[in-house]
Amino acid sequence: MRTLNALAAAATITICAYYFFAWLVLGWRRQSGAVVPLYMPPRQLSPAMLRYIWKESFDDRTFWAGVLSLVAKGLATLHSGDGAALIRATASAIKNDKIAT
């Protein structure tokens, strides 16, 4: 039993020493910042379509992703009041017939 405890203590000290020396050699110089994924979503797919593909269902977030996509492109305006949201097509969207009114 005594040799088993000594073996466990020696293994623990050895592992701690290994990680300490590995940190000295590799770890202390690294200045890692935030990890930011760099990717571009497909241009042909709208945010609402990507959410629909991801969740495989249409929900309120999918709807609002589509609405906010139209607002970001300048094809619609979004107004809120009295607890309701009002979405209106912009003049340029109506003129170019990009949104059916």
CA 32 to CA 20: how far, in whole Å? 19
Q: Return phi, psi of residue 58, to 5°.
A: -105, 120
**Locus of tokens 């203590």:** 9
Query: Considering only CA atoms, which of 68, 70, 73, 45 is closest in space to residue 54?
Result: 45
Q: Which amino acid, one-letter code, is at 75?
A: L
pLDDT of 40-90, one tens digit each?
777 888 888 988 998 889 998 999 898 888 888 888 898 888 888 888 888
Q: What is the pTM of this model?
A: 0.52
